[in-house]
């Protein structure tokens, strides 16, 4: 009896579930939901396939090889070649100039089905899908053929995403349709990164072994192929043990792929790696701050970075190589600069030289220390540094001359409060006089006279004067403290150089620029700079301001910096280091 009573509820429950399942099956049959779901999935696949096919068909696939073979030339102000711009390019060599030892090693490790696949490998894709599942949706890379890697490196970003992976596959198919396999292999090897800033197998051969790519031995070829997995970890310069271990693994993979006999592999494993460096950069990093600024300016005016680096343009600049070399040499003298911070951080500096008549930038130094490609350039980019007293001629003394004052007008130098906030500036020396002539106040960089003068002129006249020079103050900076450079408005050395150019150019404010014009491979001018200047003051005011600023170097704050045999006009400036630093 007990057994029968226990079975009754289970039987009832079973009936209920059967009834529910019957209704679900009826619902699915009635509305054909499975078919609709299959159709929806197929439509999504068709949609993505159409999108990826369109992107692949419209991509610049046919020009990959030519773009890898060409470099954009940078010409100086005298139309002499100053260097080259290029992205991820080494010295191009055809496949017959690349040792089979490298070709076989790369194919054995990166893409064994290279000569048979249509640009992608089903097994590789399945491995990637399995990795996606194992790592819970995180894309870990791998599974890409050589052709897919070429597509990624030349036409796509390095960002890991399913969309990019899909584009990569379709682009690889398109590349396979456009190029023979040997061309694809040559493009890959000439575009691959081998660490230490070296792209391409020819330059890598010279960087690590001091020889051409055609001369590499079996072991050396395997070593270069080994580096492709992780150049920083497997390059023999920095990690010899890692490089040898990975080389030996590659040699064994070549045996498995049928490209190398076991005896040859064993012999190659027993050889020592002899390193030699005959690699030369071909002027690509000769003037890094200047070349970065050229790229920034081109991009600003609508020329894409990719086109600039890859389409063999000629960029005509305003560079003066002699000036640039002298500026480089000065920045290389560490004893000229303050000591490093306790953690080794360099004291930063920047410099820019501008032709006051044309506005062409002749030379620039963006920072000290190791160059970072298109990193922060303190000379040209907004970095939050105060202009200090260099703002005084622009905001105070120029409008003063325009409003009835003269170079020898007497200005108050008494320590005193100004305005509703009782703003009280102090002189750097702590010494105050009753009255001083304007030229002395400027040359000695006194602080009380310009604040007193701006209070008489009105802050708005100073603000308007700065705006004429191309510097617009924030509303919060429009006060008497601005006369001493006490502003949060970002003002760069290049902005100041442009403003000061107007004093040497008869009151005409030039358009500062690095590029004169850009010409494409067909000879068509695709960008021409605007060099029109505008009047910001009269020639007489410019002349009088210049004469006062000569005093800065003759008997003022820059007397120790005056170069022998030259007449120099200018203004010094300093600012307090923020407590947060």
Cα separation, 141 vs 163, in Å, equals 13
Q: Give the pairing type, strands 314-317 and 72-75.
A: parallel
Inter-residue contact 561 to 553 (CB < 8 Å): yes
Q: Is there a contact between 56 and 148 (Cβ–Cβ < 8 Å)?
A: no
Nearest by Cα to 75 from 65, 66, 89, 85: 85
Given the residues 110, 220, 254, 365, select the one marked as catalytic: 110
58 to 35, 50, 54, 530: CA distances (angstroms): 34, 12, 6, 33
Helix (H, G, I), strand (E, B) or coil at 528: strand
Q: Please, which residues have CB within 8 angstroms of residue 45's CB and are 6 or more apart in sequence? A: none
Cβ-proximal residues to 544 (8 Å cutoff; 6+ apart), any chain: 401, 406, 407
Pair of tokens at residue 400: 């003063």
Cα gap 331→316, rounded to integer Å:
25
Q: Are 441 and 405 in contact (CB under 8 A)?
A: no
For every residue of 232-290, DSSP letters joined together read HHH-TTT-HHHHHHHHHHHHHHHHHHTSS-HHHHHHHHTSPP--B-----TTTTSSHHH
Catalytic-labelled residue, pool 84, 108, 128, 389: 389
Three-class secondary structure of residue 526 per DSSP? strand
Strand order across the beta sheet in which 515-519 lies = 81-85, 72-75, 314-317, 515-519, 525-528
Rounded Cα gap, residues 513 and 515, in angstroms:
6
Contact 102, 216 (CB under 8 A): yes
Residue 333's CB is within 10 A of a number of other CB atoms, namely 8
Closest by Cα among 418, 406, 553, 405 to 483:
418
Mapped onto helix, strand or coil, the DSSP state of residue 74 is: strand
| 389 classed as catalytic | yes
Q: What is the DSSP letter of 557?
A: T
Candidates 251, 514, 494, 518; CA nearest to 390 is 494
Q: Measured between alpha carbons, how far is 389 from 410 in angstroms, rounded to an integer?
A: 20
414 catalytic, yes or no?
no
Catalytically annotated residues:
110, 389
């Amino acid at each position: 009896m007990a057994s029968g009573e226990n079975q009754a509820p289970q039987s009832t429950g079973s009936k209920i579930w059967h009834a529910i399942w019957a209704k679900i099956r009826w619902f699915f049959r009635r509305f054909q939901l499975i078919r609709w779901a299959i159709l929806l999935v197929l439509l999504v696949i068709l949609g993505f396939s159409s999108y990826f096919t369109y992107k692949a068909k419209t991509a610049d696939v046919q020009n990959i090889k030519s773009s890898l073979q060409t470099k954009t030339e940078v010409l100086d102000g005298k139309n002499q070649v100053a260097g080259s711009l290029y992205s991820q390019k080494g010295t191009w060599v055809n496949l017959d100039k690349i040792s089979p030892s490298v070709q076989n090693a790369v194919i054995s490790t990166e893409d064994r089905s290279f000569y048979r696949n249509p640009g992608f490998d089903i097994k590789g894709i399945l491995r990637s899908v399995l990795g996606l599942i194992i790592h819970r949706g995180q894309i870990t890379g791998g599974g890409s053929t050589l052709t897919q890697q070429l597509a990624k490196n030349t036409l796509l970003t390095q960002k890991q995403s399913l969309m990019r992976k899909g584009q990569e596959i379709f682009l690889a198919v398109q590349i396979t349709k456009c190029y023979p396999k040997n061309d694809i292999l040559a493009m890959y090897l000439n575009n691959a990164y081998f660490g230490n800033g070296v792209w391409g197998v020819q330059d890598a051969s010279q960087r690590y072994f001091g020889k051409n790519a055609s001369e590499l031995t079996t072991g050396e070829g395997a070593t270069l192929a080994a580096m492709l997995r992780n150049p920083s970890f497997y390059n023999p310069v920095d990690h010899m043990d890692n490089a040898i271990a990975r080389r030996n693994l590659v040699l064994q993979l070549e045996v498995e792929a049928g490209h190398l006999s076991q005896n040859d592999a064993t012999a190659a494993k027993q050889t020592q790696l002899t390193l030699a460096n005959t690699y030369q950069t071909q002027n690509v990093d000769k003037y890094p701050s200047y070349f970065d600024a050229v790229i920034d300016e081109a991009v600003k005016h609508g020329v894409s970075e990719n086109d600039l680096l890859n389409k063999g343009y000629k960029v005509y600049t305003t560079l003066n190589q002699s000036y640039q070399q002298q500026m480089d040499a000065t920045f290389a003298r560490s004893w000229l600069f303050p000591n490093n911070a306790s953690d080794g951080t360099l004291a930063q500096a920047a410099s820019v030289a501008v032709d006051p008549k044309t506005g062409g930038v002749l030379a620039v130094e963006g920072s000290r220390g190791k160059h970072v490609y298109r990193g922060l350039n303190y000379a040209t980019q907004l970095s939050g540094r105060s202009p200090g007293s260099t703002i005084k001629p622009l905001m105070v003394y120029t409008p003063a001359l325009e409003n009835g004052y003269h170079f020898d007008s007497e200005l108050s130098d008494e320590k005193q409060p100004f305005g509703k906030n009782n703003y009280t500036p102090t002189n750097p020396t702590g010494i105050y006089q009753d009255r001083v002539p304007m030229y002395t106040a400027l040359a000695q960089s006194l602080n009380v006279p310009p604040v007193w003068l701006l209070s008489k002129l009105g802050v708005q006249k100073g603000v308007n004067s700065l705006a004429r020079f191309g510097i617009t103050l924030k509303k919060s900076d429009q006060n008497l403290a601005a006369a001493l450079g006490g502003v949060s408005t970002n003002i760069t050395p290049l902005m100041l150089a442009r403003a000061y150019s107007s004093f040497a150019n008869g009151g005409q404010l030039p358009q500062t620029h690095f590029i004169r014009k850009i010409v494409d491979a067909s000879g068509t001018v695709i960008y021409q700079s605007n060099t029109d200047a505008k009047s910001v003051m009269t020639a007489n005011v410019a002349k009088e301001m210049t004469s006062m600023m000569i005093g800065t170097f003759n008997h003022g704050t820059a007397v120790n910096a005056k170069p022998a045999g030259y007449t120099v006009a200018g203004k010094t400036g300093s600012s307090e280091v923020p407590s947060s630093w």
